[in-house]
Chains A and B, each alone.
Chain A
Amino acid sequence: MTISTSLVYLIGLPFAGAAILLLGGRRTDKWGHLLATALSGSSFVVGVYHLIQMVNRPTEMRPISQKLFEWISVGSFNVDAGLLLDQLSICFVLLITGVGTLIHIYSIAYMSEDRDRRRFFAYLNLFIAAMLLLVLGDSYLSLYVGWEGVGLASYLLIGFWNQKPAYATASKKAFVMNRVGDMGLSLAIMIAFATMGTVSFAGVAEQAHHTSEAALTAMGIMLLVAAAGKSAQFPLQAWLGDAMAGPTPVSALIHAATMVTAGVYLITRSNFVFDAAPTAQLLVVIVGAITLIFGALIGTAKDDIKKALAASTMSQIGYMILATGLGPIGYAFAIMHLITHGFFKAGMFLGAGSVMHGMNDEVNMRKYGALRQFMPITFITFGIGYLAILGVPPFAGFYSKDMIIESAFNSGGMQAIFLGSLTLIGAAITAFYMTRVMILTFAGTKRWDEGVEPHESPWLMWFPMAVLAVGSVTSGYLLYHNKALYKWLSPLFEDHGEHEELLKPIVVSALALTMVAIGVSIAVYKYMRENIETVAPVDVSWITKFVRKDLMQDQFNEKFFMRPGQLLTKALVTTEDVVVDGSVRGVARMAIGSGSGLRGLQNGFVRSYAALILVGALTLIAAIWVVVS
């Protein structure tokens, strides 16, 4: 372990940006966005510097740490606020700062008309700082601070246009559902403290071997709840679609590339817990599998381009969670898919933003069409992202997604076939809905509203899209080549040796491509020849209606959590009013009543007081008399 003093700059620079912009107020309006972008960029430079340093060190010397200060010191319980940069963190640092900086650049143009652009950049910087703290913290407690920080930034950015009540509600929904997950994380931390007496990653990793499986399973399940909340996994997935209320760069950065992947990071980081708790691991797999199908299904019915992409994000993170649940063979591939997904999904969101920018902020895909000629650059970058998410070779998604499907097939036992089939079906549905998005947006006939004149976006916007498109093409091969990422990360995980191979990689690839081809064909068959209505048809099968309603996720939550919760609250309020307040008021009323009754005795006449003393003495004597007789 190497000691460093420069890690704090990674977090400090964007945090300083947020502080300056928020405290500086309107004075910083003119140059605030430039400062924020520069600080985010310099944080990226520091990250690259650390990567080069790390690559040049021998494997066991690669993780570096920095102790900031003694945070909590209570008896035998000590928590130092420290930072830890290892092979896993550096991937996230570069993804966060790299994609983050690109999105800062994009936002300069995208938000140029907004009068609150400075506040937007302040929140973006705050998010970068919090996300870096999340991935750099060396204990669950530091992680928790970052975890809450990104939750706050996400809340602020989803509700950035909070003058619209629907958007404010969406941010509140995201915040509340995230709290459920946060509860899981705090419980996990408490379990770790109660059973192992430590909350640092190193400490827990060391203690995990001596701790009972039950405790580790409980902690793992709680960590899974946390991950589900933050990463929009089943059953806490409902907030992500509404989170699209935020400005599109926010959707690209927070709700596609970085924050929502924090759950994957958390599970990967806690590999020592899950490796020792097979039940929790199985639950992770189940959650991932459900979400990947769930998200994909929702994606097929969305007409809002951003919500379709959000559903896709949910589904892709389902893939990652599934991979992490497979144990040591899956961690590296989950991270790999996370990185490639960060590139292509951010690129596609920026593309969607570019389309909206050209279409007067219209988000309904049914009112797009034939944009290929009017937005060539957007079409090309979006198209690259599309090919990448489909998993067409040699684009990034081909490598990362295939690895996950392969791992699923190779995870052993009966579950392997089941999981592998699910991932293949997921890939087919993904192909279907992404093709649908492509066709509705860029092909077909014009279905625009009156007065809409689509145009290509300024270079400040297409430049980041182009960079991300390059990443979407190359990142997969670079990370896959020579098992580069796998070898890079493997010192962190305990691999239990080779696994049986159910299917050869080439067979898996062929199967996956076949499924993708089927999905694309259905989409082309359904949407290329048909005249698309600008309003979604109503006379559809009940399955379509069901899917359009997000598989009843909101209705389910409302019926089973919100209504009982309200009933409980009402009951508690009544109890509080009648029992608690009632008793308090009763005591008060008793005091008032007895006071006003006894006030008659206080008449100011000494003699009546003396009479009362006499009565008191009589009572006393009478008591004695009773006792004696």
Chain B
Amino acid sequence: MDASNYLYISALLFTIGAVGVVVRRNAIVVFMCIELMLNAANLSFVTFSRINGNLDGQVMAFFTMVVAACEVVVGLAIIVAIYRSRRSASVDDASLLKR
């Protein structure tokens, strides 16, 4: 079995996450899908790290995790703020930018 199998699964997970962002309306699920995409990228980093034989990829994955954490914190705060004013967590309801 080849290490690039991990890359294939990473691509699949990433694609699934992307579809989820588009098709799901619940803001929290959308966020989870984004997390899924980030994790898929992380898996690629780790695999590349293994293929290249150094730890740079793992450090990158570490950074990605921190950024993801930041993003989740801020994003969820935004969701809470929106929910408080609109009583809805659907991203379709927050479509006021059109006008």
Contacts and interface: CB of A to CB of B under 8 A. Distances in A.
Interface of A: 602-607, 610-611, 614, 617
A617 B17 CA distance: 14
Contacts of B22: 607, 610-611, 614
Closest A-B pairs by Cβ, 6 of them: A604-B98, A604-B95, A611-B22, A606-B91, A610-B21, A604-B97
B92 A614 contact: no
Nearest to A612: B22
Nearest to B92: A605
A619 to B, nearest CB: 14
B99 interface: yes
B18 interface: yes
B96 interface: yes
Contacts of B25: 607
Contacts of B18: 610, 614, 617
B99 A607 contact: no
Interface string B57-83: 000000000000000000000000000
Contacts of B96: 604
B23 interface: yes
B16 interface: no
B9 interface: no
Contact of B92 (A602, A607, A611, A617): A607
B94 interface: yes
A603 B99 CA distance: 9
Interface residues of B, number: 15
Nearest to A602: B98
Interface string B3-23: 000000000000000110111
Most buried by B among A602, A603, A610, A614: A610
B48 to A, nearest CB: 17
Contact of B94 (A606, A610, A611, A617): A606
Contacts of A607: 21-23, 25, 30, 91-92
A604 B21 CA distance: 15
Contact of B95 (A606, A611, A614): A606
Interface in B14-44: 18-19, 21-23, 25, 30
A603 to B, nearest CB: 6
Nearest to A605: B95
A504 B95 CA distance: 107
A603 B21 contact: no
A614 B37 CA distance: 12
24 contacts: A602-B98, A603-B95, A604-B95, A604-B96, A604-B97, A605-B91, A605-B92, A605-B95, A606-B92, A606-B94, A606-B95, A607-B22, A607-B23, A607-B25, A607-B30, A607-B92, A610-B18, A610-B21, A610-B22, A611-B22, A614-B18, A614-B19, A614-B21, A614-B22
A606 B98 CA distance: 10
A607 B21 CA distance: 7
A607 B25 CA distance: 8
Given A604-B96, A604-B99, A606-B91, 19 more contacts: A604-B95, A604-B97, A604-B98, A605-B91, A605-B92, A605-B95, A606-B92, A606-B94, A606-B95, A607-B21, A607-B22, A607-B23, A607-B25, A607-B30, A607-B91, A607-B92, A610-B18, A611-B22, A614-B22
